[in-house]
Amino acid sequence: MQLTGAEIVVECLKEQGVDTVFGYPGGAILNVYDELYKHSNEIRHILTSHEQGASHAADGYARATGKVGVCFATSGPGATNLVTGIATAYMDSIPLVAITCNVGVSLLGKDSFQEIDIAGITMPITKHNYIVKDINQLADTIRKSFIIAKKGRPGPVLIDIPKDVTAAKTEYTPQPAVQVMPSSDIDERDLETALAMIRRSERPFICVGGGAILSDAAEEFYRFAKKVDAPVTDTLMGHGAFPETDELYTGMVGMHGTKASDYGVDECDLLIVAGARFSDRVTGNVNEFAKNAEILQFDIDAAEMNKNVLITEGVIGDLKVILEKLNSRLEQQDHTQWKERINSYKEKYPLVYPAEGLSGPWVVEEIYRQTEGDAIVVTEVGQHQMWAAQFYQFTEPRTFLTSGGLGTMGYGLGASIGAKMGRPDKTVVNIAGDGCLRMNMNEIATAARNNIPIIEVVINNHVLGMVRQWQDLFYEQRYSQTVLNDAVDFVKLAEAMGAVGYRAQTREEFQKAFAEALTLGRPVLIDCQIDKDEKVWPMVAPGAAIRDAFDEADMKKKAD
């Protein structure tokens, strides 16, 4: 049958099982939006307040569901406004398809009105991208893009379509979506080497990252950790891959990890890294990282082997497949004495916060109590992000959504909208800082307009908290441009945009506000007023070894 390019776009999305698209229309993409209007009973479109919100929403939808997120934007500034969201997805390996439309083919390269080379701009931050100048290639390009986004190490793909291609016609033949399956091809020699290393280890320590979530390997990883009988830490992206209520769990590793985890990495004789890429926020000084250990890495991407840290051995492949194979061959190990040593660190160096008053950690723990640990927690970037990672106990994958690699302030509100659209059965809470909220507060209107009942908890210290913390510790308290003590009223702002607003200055006020928010079925913002000098502890200084993690008690001892 003969279809226009715009009709082909919509039909291909339906082939791929897409039920939700996030975007913002404009002149170049009008043909696609006109066709989408005719299929509004099959594909729901969420009109965001800004294109960046659309890309973050598509990202949040993908993280929460495991499906490919989809966003639309028009040419020029519409397309460039997607860039930060695409880069965020790229850094965290999130499957995303961004569809933009451009000026007509004959106008390309002529600095036409709202023309931009979005394919060139996004080349470094996509797995692949296309500009489709021939309508006969459009359907196959869209189908390939979904495969690329999901296959191997996931990531974003951009498709740019000139407007005249969306208007042209060609023959279209429907096709079923290709099911992307992980490869079972794992090098047997690498598996045997890994088994030998595990068997001879006396002090194994396991670090799990976001790859375990992307490969749906949580069950296999749990069995593996129990068989190895080793303490387990996670990276920021690995939260939820292993139940954090389990006795083997030691807390997050790295710059703001627990001392138990950082000491465990430093003292182990074998560090097993599953689906993590040795970010600098994990390793600290790479020359001192796990210096007493052999390092065994499992990763789907060969490029991650020896990129940041020199490893001893590695196994390349889908983590779920690797763990299945290892679990079938590995005998039950016993490391009781080693576990007792790490447990002594857990008891000696617990995470602490002020016993009285409203504080970031207390707010996170109260959210955990009231949601009974059964919520999707989204964050922005900063102190509140670290407190969420430290004090909410995640027990399931795809329940902690955060910008780990790029560290994108403004990510969380859009992502929480996407997560709620993908998982309407879940309570979705976005934990934000007041600085981050200023970057994406317009998406409150998106949630209100579409009646998407997310809960926005603002940890409001009237400063850029994490930057101020660095200024306090490393810049002799020169608080250059980090004070936000102005007249902005977030409660009135939320109400003006159609949401419900609360202000909490005490623990009791937050308890009441959050309990009400859980029952309203409307978007809610809770403005939590905390002290501007509250800090995230422990901390590793830039360039230091993670063994040198310090906290407030250490600083007081040093001062004395």
Candidates 34, 31, 36; CA nearest to 21 is 36
**Which pLDDT does position 560 carry in this prediction?**
73
Task: Provide the pLDDT for residue 172.
Answer: 97
User: Which element (helix H / strand E) includes 297?
Assistant: strand 294-299
SS (H, E, C) 394-418: CCCCCCEECCCCCCCCCCHHHHHHH
Q: Are 236 and 260 in contact (CB under 8 A)?
A: no
Q: pLDDT value at position 462? A: 97
Give the side-chain half-sphere CA count within 13 A for 447.
35
pLDDT at residue 42 in the model = 97
Q: Which of 129, 127, 115, 116 is CA-nearest to residue 158?
A: 129
Q: Coil, strand, or helix at residue 206?
A: strand
Angstrom distance (rounded) from CA 404 to CA 426: 22
List all residues 6 or more positions away from 149 whose beta carbon is below 8 Å from its beta carbon.
68, 95, 96, 97, 127, 155, 156, 157
Residue (of 314, 345, 358) closest to 460 by Cα position: 358
Residue 478: Cβ within 10 Å count: 8
Q: Which residues, in sequence order, are bridge partners of residue 457?
A: 431, 526
Tokens of 249: 């769990």
Length of the chain, please?
A: 560
Taken in order of first residue, the domains within the chain and their CATH numbers are: 2-171 (3.40.50.970), 188-348 (3.40.50.1220), 360-529 (3.40.50.970)
Nearest of 400, 397, 416 to residue 22 by alpha carbon? 416
Catalytic residues: 51, 113-114, 163, 466
User: How many CB atoms neighbour CB 387 within 10 A?
Assistant: 26
Mean pLDDT, each 10-residue run in order, the chain (560 residues): 97 98 98 97 98 98 98 98 98 98 94 95 98 98 98 98 98 95 94 98 98 98 98 98 98 98 98 97 96 97 97 98 98 98 98 96 98 98 98 98 98 98 98 97 98 98 97 96 94 98 98 98 98 96 95 85
E-only strand ranges, 76-202? 96-102, 128-131, 156-162, 169-171
Which one, of 323, 320, 344, lies nearest residue 272 by Cα? 323
Strands (E) in 231-290, as ranges, are 232-234, 249-252, 270-274
Close Cβ partners of 527 (under 8 Å, ≥ 6 residues apart): 458, 460, 490, 491, 501, 502, 503, 504
Measure Cα distances from 62 to 67, 80, 220, 425 in Å.
5, 21, 22, 16
